[in-house]
Amino acid sequence: MSKEKVIQIDSAVIDGHERIRLFFSYDREVIELIRSLPGARWQPVMKCWHVAMALGPAEKLNYRFREKLVFIPRELSSGGRSDKDKETVSPYVKVPEEFIKTMKLKDYSLRTLKSYSSMLQLFMNYYQPRPLDELTDEDIREYLLYVVDKKKVSQSYQNQAINAIKFYYEQVLGRPTQTYYLQRPKRESTLPSVLSEAEVLRLLKQVKNLKHKTALSLIYSSGLRVGELINMKISDIDSSRSQIRICQGKGKKDRVSLLSPNILKLLRDYYKEYRPKVWLFEGQFGGQYSAGSVQAVFRAAKSAAGITKKATVHTLRHSFATHLLERGTDLRYIQALLGHQSVRTTEIYTHVTEKGFKKIVSPFDNLEL
């Protein structure tokens, strides 16, 4: 890679944190280098990669990637900042303090707080310098149309944007719901990606680091979400009852899940080597392990295992549920283990299980051609 690979950088507040944004033309080699930075993430609305401020400034990044990449502050680049991108006019605009306080008083999770703040911040940037309380219902609909038509974001993202805007106008400003109407986008009816038991085994065998192997194995063996894994404490392991406690999972619900004998043995080996103090999985310098680290471990293992199908860490949770169903576990038990509020959510796994599917004979097979 030549030194002419130029990355434009600036700073912006994303998910409540000031981050360095990276702008460059699509290049697979550049993306792989950026991914090597701790906590590097893609922002679909801003169409850029972003990393922690601690990794900057440009001089520091240039030294790190010398002979490979050149980082230039965006305002110094020939193109400058695009006036057409209304969402990046002022990356430093802050959401109203009352918005944050109201969410905290309502005991919203930190993840929701960050997500809603980011969504409202983008909405404010689109219309700034106009004050939020002067915007009309038509303004709100115009912004949502812009997000859908121009930014091409997912329907899940659209719903999050609507929720954040509704929260501000209804919960903070006290506007009655009937004063504006937002058409909710229909959710896509998609089936979860699932790995076969052989693929899960192949993937886990590629993980040589004991901490990494234990983390991915625990997610699969108990059907955990990534957030539930990194929030788990040593005291949540109940070996006497062969259970693990998931405290304040999604929706602030507690539940228990399986603790298999094999995962218990792996956990004991892991504990002897790493000696975590509070959190079951801790970072190199203490504190909670990061979700980004778990996801990076999964991507590396998936690549090493030669698995080409679309899959993420969450696929291990889907695979756990599907494999239980294929082995004859009652759907109601799977619902409880996953922490689903409605069995209808759990029923989606009946559409991806191979149990009984292979016994169905196509009518074409009865034809004598």
SS3 state of residue 198: helix
- Assess whether 340 carries a catalytic annotation: yes
Catalytic residue among 41, 141, 250, 255: 250
- Assess whether 146 carries a catalytic annotation: no
- Assess whether 318 carries a catalytic annotation: no
Catalytic residue among 143, 157, 220, 349: 349
CA 150 to chain CA mean position, Å: 23
| Burial annotation 44-68 (CB, 10 A radius, 16+ → b, else e) | ebbebbbbeeeebebeebbeebeee
Would you state the structure tokens that stand for residue 48, as one six-digit string?
A: 């850029």
Catalytic residue among 19, 50, 74, 340: 340
Catalytic residue among 50, 74, 212, 225: 225
Task: Give me the phi and psi of 212, to 5 degrees please.
Answer: -65, -45
- Sequence-distant (6+) residues with CB within 8 A of 325 are 331, 334, 349, 350, 353, 355
Contact of 88 with 81, CB cutoff 8 Å: yes
DSSP element (H, E) containing 319: helix 313-326
Q: How far is CA 4 from CA 7, 65, 71, 141, in A?
A: 9, 12, 10, 43
Q: How far is CA 11 from CA 50, 60, 240, 295, in A?
A: 9, 15, 50, 24
Catalytic residue among 41, 68, 86, 314: 314
- Assess whether 317 carries a catalytic annotation: yes
Catalytic residue among 302, 317, 318, 323: 317
Task: Just list the catalytic residues.
Answer: 225, 250, 314, 317, 340, 349
